[in-house]
Amino acid sequence: MKKIIISTGGTGGHVIPARILYDYLLNKNQIIITSDKRGIKYLNKKKYKIKQIDVPKIKKNIISFIPFVVSFILSILKSYLFLVKKKINIIISTGGYMSVPICIAARILKIKIFLFEPNLVLGRANLFLLNYCDKIFTYNKKLRNMPKEMNNKNFVIKPLIRKDIFLSKNNNKKKSKIFSILIIGGSQGARKFDNLFSKDLVKLSSKFKIKIFHQTSNKNLNKLKKFYSSNYVNCEVFSYTETLYKIVKQCDFVITRSGASTINELLFLGTPFLAIPFPFAKDDHQFFNANYYVKKNLGWLIREGNVKENFLYKFVTNLIKNKKLILQKKKNMYEFHKDYNWYENANSLKNLIKNEN
């Protein structure tokens, strides 16, 4: 039995893989997930063993630098004492700057470190920690920013899909003559998505039988509901939900950012998507995530700056009138994930961890 810590960042894109790894490895292992106060809110304390270790965010101004250094060192010390107390054997980091202190502490204690990188661009925290890890789990042999001399540490696995999504795939999807569109704002809500397509959606609603499912932040929930209601658009507006996949399965088409977890869940569920990468993502990793799959004819992609009025209206009108476009993408997605097995993926990682001394 191994004593394992899964260290994760503060967004859904970091926490979701951490939860999947927890479920993969829980049998015959003792596992704790560590994160900061942002990441903790995505974790069910009744289901997961959790430890909150807050890490200061890097400050660029000189005045804040010294307090940052002091706080960062204290985070390493706190992590060190926690690792010793719990007699941890293995650290698995799913990325984010808040994972750096605990990995540094693990390095000092000569604890094995595994990294996880779901994006097609190696994250900066993982790049920093690469010298200290035993392996890095990825979805691809070729990652941008990966030093060639570190390629031997790259251990390619199949995408991490939540077990409830895997088990739900074969459930019948609700059939409807209404063309359903899901707009995913992400775990933190993409405010730009709240008005980027507003005129086009009203125009589409006046011409076709459509239904909009729109995820936004709690802050913008009521405002968005009023907008759709005042324009007589058939819609459901909601904030972050653990069961988004149930809504995905009701929809014909999705508009989304392109975090690795979101894109892979859409591919697995066979729901065609238009990816609009977050333009300020570090190293433009969301663009490269989406572009990889779009080149395989598994989705569509456009830069946010290129989205003009009438773009979405024309795009969706074409999908509604040419159903073969949707059907071809669904077929391609099915072929891409047809051999995926949650249990096999879990066993391959469990065996790797088990055999580490």
The predicted model scores a pTM of: 0.91
Instruction: Render pLDDT for 256-295 as a digit per residue (tens, 0 to 9).
Output: 999 999 999 999 999 999 999 999 888 999 999 999 999 9
In the numeric block, which tokens belong to residue 205?
A: 């609603």
Per-residue pLDDT at 356: 67
Instruction: Render pLDDT for 206-261 as a digit per residue (tens, 0 to 9).
Output: 999 999 999 998 888 999 999 999 999 999 999 888 899 999 999 999 999 999 99
* Regions of the chain short of the pLDDT cut 70: 58-63, 172-175, 186-189, 356-357
Structural domains in the chain plus CATH codes: 2-161+341-354 (3.40.50.2000), 165-337 (3.40.50.2000)
Q: Could you say which DSSP state residue 335 is in?
A: H
Per-residue pLDDT at 235: 95
Q: How far is CA 255 from CA 229, 242, 264, 301, in A?
A: 21, 18, 14, 10
Per-residue pLDDT at 128: 94
Task: Give kind and range of the element (H or E) at residue 189.
Answer: none
SS3 of 45-57: CCCCCEEECCCCC
What order of strands is seen across the sheet that includes strand 50-52? 50-52, 29-35, 2-7, 90-93, 112-117, 135-138, 154-156
Per-residue pLDDT at 61: 67
Per-residue pLDDT at 346: 92
Angle at CA of residue 256, ends 254 and 259, nearest 5°: 130
Per-residue pLDDT at 357: 59
What residues have CB less than 8 Å from 322, skipping those under 6 apart? Answer: none
What residues have CB less than 8 Å from 214, skipping those under 6 apart? Answer: 182, 183, 185, 193, 194, 224, 228, 235, 236, 237, 238
Sign of CA dihedral 132, 25, 247, 241: negative
